[in-house]
Amino acid sequence: MSFEPDHSIEIFGVKWKTPLTTASGTFELGDMARKLFDLNDFGAITLKSLTLNPREGNPPPRIAEVDCGLLNSIGLANPGINYFLEQILPKIKSFGIPLILSIAGDSIEEYVSLAQKLSKIEGLMALEVNMSCPNASKRMLEFGSNPKDSYFLVKEICRVSHYPIIAKLTPNCLSIQDIALAVEEAGANAVSLINTLIGMDVDLLLKKPITGLPTAGLSGPAIRTIALRMVWEVYKVVKIPIIGMGGIIRAEDAIKFFLVGASAVALGTVNFIDFSASKKIINGLDSYLRENSFASLKEIIGLAHKSLEFMRCGGD
């Protein structure tokens, strides 16, 4: 007898109709997005990172295709928080989908100012603290790679924000477990991982790096196994929800993230490749749950850990 599994989740006390969101910076929520994507496939939309003041971003070229992925060096180009609040947010609130706003800065004071401004408005579900962009300032990389800096940054943001806080973690660190524990202790309500890895490529004809800055952030299938390993490690030490991301192209990829401990997953590079990927992933997830007699997505979250423990105990 066929049945429809429940693929909804609950994070921050809010029910997501699907476990999918978008990776910040890969999805502009406007008229074009509504034409290209079915927003009903997503449980929430994570918006592009905003800074206190407008940023032009890094010099071009800013994006380049490489084997099994993309290099991007956008540099957090954005119109600034005031423009967003006045011109963009009023339009997208009517879309009727939970919104996660990503914030970024070069100092604790900037992050705190952003959080204070946003706490005065309604219409968001959570704030994602981008403390891990490899294309921005050295200070941001320090926030994401040093547990003490991570702790103090998140602690100060939590002090002024009434929104749940998601700390976005970088793979470019010595111990992602230490960073995850630090932000959890500081008050983060969830973590998202991973941001891009630092990489580069070279143009043989021009004999120089293919992006405007020598190094850039690598995303796509090339980083998936690393992302899975890091979600696996973080799940073992934190109690807060994990939003997994990194090279998710197919339903099978998303399912692996759930099995190693993610409660939700974010789609990034695939948004540039296949506008129907979200629907295919949801359909594939439902098929997997039915075929394996799981009534809901919740039953498989972290299951790989339990299966491994069962094997170690000899199946007793």
- Amino acid code (one letter) for 243: I
* 108: exposed, middle or buried (Cβ count in 10 Å: 0-12, 13-18, 19+): middle
Instruction: Give the per-residue pLDDT at 176.
Output: 97
| Long-range Cβ contacts of 301-309 (<8 Å, 24+ apart) | 301/258, 301/259, 301/261, 301/262, 301/263, 302/235, 302/259, 302/260, 302/261, 303/258, 303/259, 304/232, 304/259, 304/260, 304/261, 305/232, 305/235, 305/236, 305/260, 305/261
- Main-chain dihedrals φ then ψ at residue 209, nearest 5 degrees: -55, 150
Q: How far apart are CA 212 and CA 75, in angstroms?
A: 11
Instruction: Give the per-residue pLDDT at 315.
Output: 57
Strand spans (E) along the chain: 9-11, 14-16, 20-22, 45-50, 63-66, 69-72, 99-103, 126-130, 165-168, 190-193, 197-199, 202-203, 208-209, 216-219, 242-245, 264-267
- Banded model confidence at residue 27, pLDDT cuts 50, 70, 90: confident
Residues designated catalytic: 133
Q: How far apart are CA 177 and CA 110, in angstroms?
A: 26
> In CATH, what number does 9-57+76-201+217-312 get?
3.20.20.70
Q: For the segment 98-136, what is each residue's pLDDT rounded down to a tens digit?
A: 999 999 999 999 999 999 999 988 989 999 999 988 777
Query: What residues contact 101, with CB distance under 8 A and at least 6 apart?
Result: 46, 47, 50, 118, 124, 126, 127, 128
Q: How far apart are CA 179 and CA 167, in angstroms?
A: 10
In the chain, % helix, strand, coil (3-state, to 5) comes to 40, 20, 40
Domain ranges of the chain: 9-57+76-201+217-312
Share of the chain above pLDDT 90, in %: 82
Instruction: Give the per-residue pLDDT at 135.
Output: 75
Supply 141's token pair: 């990389």
Supply 49's token pair: 């990172």
- Banded model confidence at residue 252, pLDDT cuts 50, 70, 90: very high
CA separation, residue 168 to residues 68, 93, 190, 289 (Å)? 23, 23, 9, 28
- Banded model confidence at residue 310, pLDDT cuts 50, 70, 90: low
- Banded model confidence at residue 30, pLDDT cuts 50, 70, 90: low
- The whole-model pTM stands at 0.95
